[in-house]
Amino acid sequence: MNTFGIILLLVEIAIYSGIAWMASKKSLPLTLIGVLVGIFFGFLISLLAAMVTGATPSTAFVLSPDGASNIVIIVIATVVTAGVLFGLLSWLAGNNEPAPAVKREAEKQKFNFAPRPAAREAVKPMMIPNRTVVKPGTPSVTNDGVHTPAEGFMPVHPTEGVFGMVAIPAATIIDSIPEAAKYLEGMTTVRVRLALFIPQLKKATAWLTWRQVAMQSEAERATENDRPDVELLNRWVRIPPQVYVSQVPIEYFKVTTTAPVWMKQTPVTQEEQFPLDEGPM
């Protein structure tokens, strides 16, 4: 084997080593086996190619690569062997599985009927409420003293462009939510945004959630270090009208009255039989 043949062999070994190292997931034994298999397989292919092309059908030809055609045969054999070697070692090393990121994505896309763990935790057993004989839409007080507004009532949005605050006695809030007492310690009143009351003026009772009271009032400071749980934040505070009516500017109570048709009729003489005084007619 001449010098050129040795260089070619070294290059071949380097290529096989690199491919075997990567394909075997950096396993040294597999790399060594891969190099040996590669040299042997490459030699066989080169020999086969030489016999097929009929150049010089002998082992000596392969071991002493002289001439351009012989070099081409060896290079082709090396490339083919490298490909085969890569596939073989990948299979042996279990490298055909998808990459971890691809695997995770595929797992996600698999449909699963079971609720996810977070959803399972959120589901709480429901209690059948006590039956009460009330008109639908009537606010109620449940047996455990919790005030709730009419069915379907949603928390109001503050009216835009309305500024100012309304002082609500802490006792009023504690009456609806006894658990709020610890957040209102030392406070006689809680100042809540006027804008939350304006949309409810016509209803004669203001319903705010503890979240609305606590997060949009001075009580926020009291709660920020100890956030109540979500269930408590969504509890209703019933604020009767006498608490806030006197603090709402009078202009919000002005309404445009529209007299009904029967009031516009002209008086008749027959109605004089009904004097509008205190005594019996």
Which residues lie near another protein (CB under 8 A)?
133-135, 137-139, 201-205, 240-242, 245, 253, 255, 257-263, 265-268, 270-271, 273-281
CA 90 → CA 26, 27, 45, 95, 105, distances in Å?
A: 11, 11, 21, 5, 23
d(CA 168, CA 206): 11
- Considering beta carbons, is residue 126 or 268 the nearer one to another protein? 268
Q: Smallest distance, Å, CB 266 to another protein?
A: 8
- Considering beta carbons, is residue 61 or 238 the nearer one to another protein? 238
Q: Smallest distance, Å, CB 137 to another protein?
A: 8
Q: Smallest distance, Å, CB 217 to another protein?
A: 23
**How deeply is 139 buried, as exposed, middle or buried, from its count of CB atoms within 10 A (0-12, 13-18, 19+)?**
middle
The pair of three-digit structure tokens given for residue 62, joined into one six-digit string: 């392969």
- Considering beta carbons, is residue 18 or 139 the nearer one to another protein? 139
Comparing CA positions, the residue from 212, 208, 214, 209 lying closest to residue 227 is 214
CA 120 → CA 52, 112, 125, 207, 228, distances in Å?
A: 69, 13, 11, 31, 22
Q: Which long-range contacts (CB under 8 A, 24 or more apart) does 240-247 make?
A: 240/172, 240/205, 241/204, 241/205, 241/206, 243/168, 243/169, 243/172, 244/166, 244/168, 244/197, 244/206, 247/166, 247/167, 247/194
- Considering beta carbons, is residue 120 or 202 the nearer one to another protein? 202
Q: Smallest distance, Å, CB 256 to another protein?
A: 8
Q: Smallest distance, Å, CB 186 to another protein?
A: 28
CA 246 to chain CA mean position, Å: 44
Q: Smallest distance, Å, CB 225 to another protein?
A: 36
Contacting residues for 13 by C-beta, under 8 A, at least 6 apart? 35, 38, 39
Q: Smallest distance, Å, CB 263 to another protein?
A: 7
Alpha helices, DSSP H, located in 110-176:
117-122, 170-176
- Considering beta carbons, is residue 34 or 149 the nearer one to another protein? 149
- Considering beta carbons, is residue 225 or 256 the nearer one to another protein? 256
- Considering beta carbons, is residue 90 or 247 the nearer one to another protein? 247
